[in-house]
Structure 1
Amino acid sequence: MTELRIRAATPEDLDAVLAFWKVAAEGTSISDDRDGVERLVARDPEALILAEHEGELVGTVIAGFDGWRCHLYRLAVHPEQRRRGVGSALLAAAEERFVRLGGRRGDAMVLQRNETAQHAWRAAGYTPEERWRRWVKPLNE
């Protein structure tokens, strides 16, 4: 995909992000509300990463780092933009952020029933760790 812009979300983006997740994300979370996303952006302004194409929101990922572990949530790509490198670009940005912060392993929350997402995570180098029901990838091998 040409001219993909990757950037951190701002408070002004939050309504658009919440609307986007209703279209592009599999399932919902109890924190998929304005208050929850505002807390995220206020606490860690670089955690919510957006992908835009021609000024339109086409993807998101939350790259949370608690100082010890790297966690990935809400990797979502608009259905009409899938398989064009959006997800890969978002994960690359998230992983770069983690490495910059000193993270050594990323894990992803992935619904077991979402086979499309499982395929995407596997293609990105993450593997299921059944004991914890998460997907993991070493960042500094």
Structure 2
Amino acid sequence: MSEPRIRAAGPEDLDAVLAFWKVAAEGTSISDDREGVERMVARDPEALLVAERGGALVGTVIAGFDGWRCHLYRLAVHPDHRRRGIGAALLTAAEERFVRLGGRRGDAMVLRRNERAEHAWRAAGYAPEEQWRRWVKPLIG
């Protein structure tokens, strides 16, 4: 099977990405809407990476860098294309982006209940840091 083509998503891809996440991503986010994703891509046009095979969207990852930390979100692979190296290829592309930007450590938010994702992240060399707890405050409705 051919390697996936990985590229930065553009504004024309956003509706397809949002629909893809409903099929392939675990959980939802307050930012999973057109306005939120559009704003992210406008601010950092290379942050949302997509993987394609045969022109079809098969994977995504958000590789956000704020100048200090490298954050990974929405690593998702279509259920029909899992265990074929797509997630690993997306993470490699994200990590290469971070290194080019001067990043030093990538971090990922992974749902505790998503065991499949935890296995994938461990296989990619990531590990939980149990001494930290994420604190959040929704800023809208």
2:56 aligned partner: 56
- Are 1:32 and 2:55 counterparts? no
CA distance in 2, matches of 1:15, 1:78: 16
Runs of 4+ in 1 over 3 A off after TM superposition: none
Contact 1:3 1:54 in 2 (8 A): no
Q: Which residue of 1 aligns with 2:65?
A: 65
Please give the secondary structure, in 2, of the residue aligned with 1:128: coil
Q: Whose strand fraction is larger, Structure 1's or Structure 2's?
A: 1
SS of aligned partner of 2:125: coil
User: Paired residue for 2:139?
Assistant: none
Which amino acid in the other structure matches residue 31 of structure 2? S
- Matched pairs, number: 134
- 1:107 matches 2:107: yes
SS at match of 1:117: helix
Alignment correspondent of 1:131: 131
> Using a 3 Å threshold, how does the CA distance of structure 1 residues 66 and 40 change in structure 2: closer, same or farther?
same
The match for 1:78 is: 78
Normalized against structure 1, the TM-score is what?
Answer: 0.93
Amino acid at match of 1:63: A
Identity, in percent, stands at 85
Q: TM-score, normalised by structure 2?
A: 0.93
Which residue does the alignment assign to 1:98? 98
Residue of structure 2 equivalent to 1:43: 43
Please report how far the alpha carbon of residue 130 of structure 1 lies from its aligned counterpart in structure 2 after TM superposition.
1.4
Q: Which runs of 5+ in 2 are unaligned?
A: 135-141
Residue 59 and residue 95 in structure 1: after superposition, are their counterparts in 2 closer, same or farther (change >3 A)? same
1:93 CA displacement: 0.2
The runs of 5 or more residues in structure 1 that have no matched partner are: 135-141
